[in-house]
A and B are shown apart, each in its own frame.
Chain A
């Protein structure tokens, strides 16, 4: 007859590894770190190429300009651009007993990104066995997000903007780590293709119980650098359709502004022009939404 083996729970001795406790301690670190952050806001889109990082960087700059203490966590680990747009690329990150000191951009915006850790042009890669990468990649990236949240000295912030990669995977990881998450800003362009992709992302956010703070329509027309008039750029009215479906307001329509884009690519958020004006309005509208919560 087979001898009955006592179960894990029946053994009262110490679990020396305590893996569950170690994971719990990691979450506690994030909680403690973010205790001094008033609002953590995710910036997401279901679609790539809609200018989400530009919106994040310009919004952070506009918020800082009105005296808010702002941080930007670039969670697009494979395609990081926000730090560069904010001009926060150069320099070493000091490591102290209290954590890693983030880079600082104009207006005192605190920035953390894989772009700060990688050589120019180098892809994100991990030390790992040379097969079956898919098994642990997700865990490594979730761990990176956790460390960017919990091990970076964000200090006291009014807003921490988390620039998410296209898709919805990382939103779920973020929502699992940040409680409460103030909500998500969803960035779209006017096209129907964007509408369909962003709709899925909004549904995922709502399904996870995450508040949709608003819709931002980027590239909402082309702003002429000479005369300032805005001409259509994409067909479609994705932002209105998304607002109608989700019940969240359209917080801003940001026209494509070539000089502003060129300036961001060069590491400076331009504080003039049609895009900047729209981002200032976005900052005000977002603050109003957060205050209304």
Chain B
């Protein structure tokens, strides 16, 4: 999808995506000419429709993880169904206590995959310790829905 500033007749550029965690989604676009910003707000049904296709509004910032759709949408899956390997054989970053607590609150079925996404994020940026601040930054940068 594209957004057009009708007054300026210019295509608006994507600014950011926010996922408040209530099943809705916000995507902001700015007009490069007049600076006006608009937000597209989707309701839970619209958000779910898009999520069901395994695609991301605003595009992907990290590659799709193996069986990402199943692991993020299947409810009540076996806790020990998957065993996630550390990515690429690099030395994984440490998790501080608060970050571990927050990770522990993620549904177990997808916890391994979520951990891997945060780990990838930290490795790509040379971050040695994952904190809740790092997790917040990753959520914002990567648009991690409900993670």
Are B81 and A116 within 8 A (Cβ)? yes
Are B52 and A118 within 8 A (Cβ)? no
Chain B neighbourhood of A3, CB < 8 A: 6
Using known A-B contacts A8-B2, A117-B78, determine if residue A17 contacts B58 with beta carbons closer than 8 Å.
yes
Interface membership of chain B positions 56-80, coded 1 if the CB is closer than 8 angstroms to chain A and 0 otherwise: 1111100010111110111111101
Pick the contact of B75: A100, A126, A144, A147 (CB < 8 A).
Answer: A126
Nearest-Cβ distance from residue A133 to partner chain B, whole angstroms: 10
Nearest-Cβ distance from residue B84 to partner chain A, whole angstroms: 5
Cβ of A293 < 8 Å from any Cβ of B? no
Cβ of B105 < 8 Å from any Cβ of A? no
Are A143 and B53 within 8 A (Cβ)? yes
Cβ of B18 < 8 Å from any Cβ of A? no
Cβ of B9 < 8 Å from any Cβ of A? yes
Pick the contact of A147: B56, B67, B80 (CB < 8 A).
Answer: B67
CB within 8 Å of B: which A107-127 residues: 114, 116-119, 122, 124-127
Question: In whole angstroms, how far apart are the Cα atoms of A265 and B45 in the complex?
Answer: 40
Are B6 and A95 within 8 A (Cβ)? no
Are B70 and A117 within 8 A (Cβ)? yes
Chain A neighbourhood of B112, CB < 8 A: 95
Total number of A-B contacts with CB less than 8 angstroms? Answer: 142
Chain B neighbourhood of A12, CB < 8 A: 11
Chain B neighbourhood of A140, CB < 8 A: 52, 69, 73
Are B88 and A95 within 8 A (Cβ)? no
Nearest-Cβ distance from residue A13 to partner chain B, whole angstroms: 4
Using known A-B contacts A19-B50, A126-B75, determine if residue A92 contacts B55 with beta carbons closer than 8 Å.
no
Q: Write 30 A-B pairs (CB below 8 A) sorted by A numbering.
A: A6-B4, A6-B9, A15-B1, A17-B14, A17-B55, A22-B59, A22-B60, A23-B53, A26-B55, A29-B64, A92-B80, A93-B81, A95-B83, A97-B87, A114-B74, A117-B70, A117-B74, A119-B76, A125-B75, A127-B72, A128-B73, A128-B75, A129-B23, A129-B48, A135-B49, A136-B48, A139-B49, A144-B74, A146-B54, A147-B70
Q: CB within 8 Å of B: which residues of A?
A: 3, 5-6, 8, 11-13, 15-19, 22-23, 25-26, 29, 92-97, 99-100, 114, 116-119, 122, 124-129, 132, 135-136, 139-140, 143-144, 146-148, 151-152
Q: CB within 8 Å of A: which residues of B?
A: 1-2, 4, 6, 9, 11, 13-14, 23, 44-45, 48-50, 52-60, 64, 66-70, 72-78, 80-85, 87-88, 112-113, 116
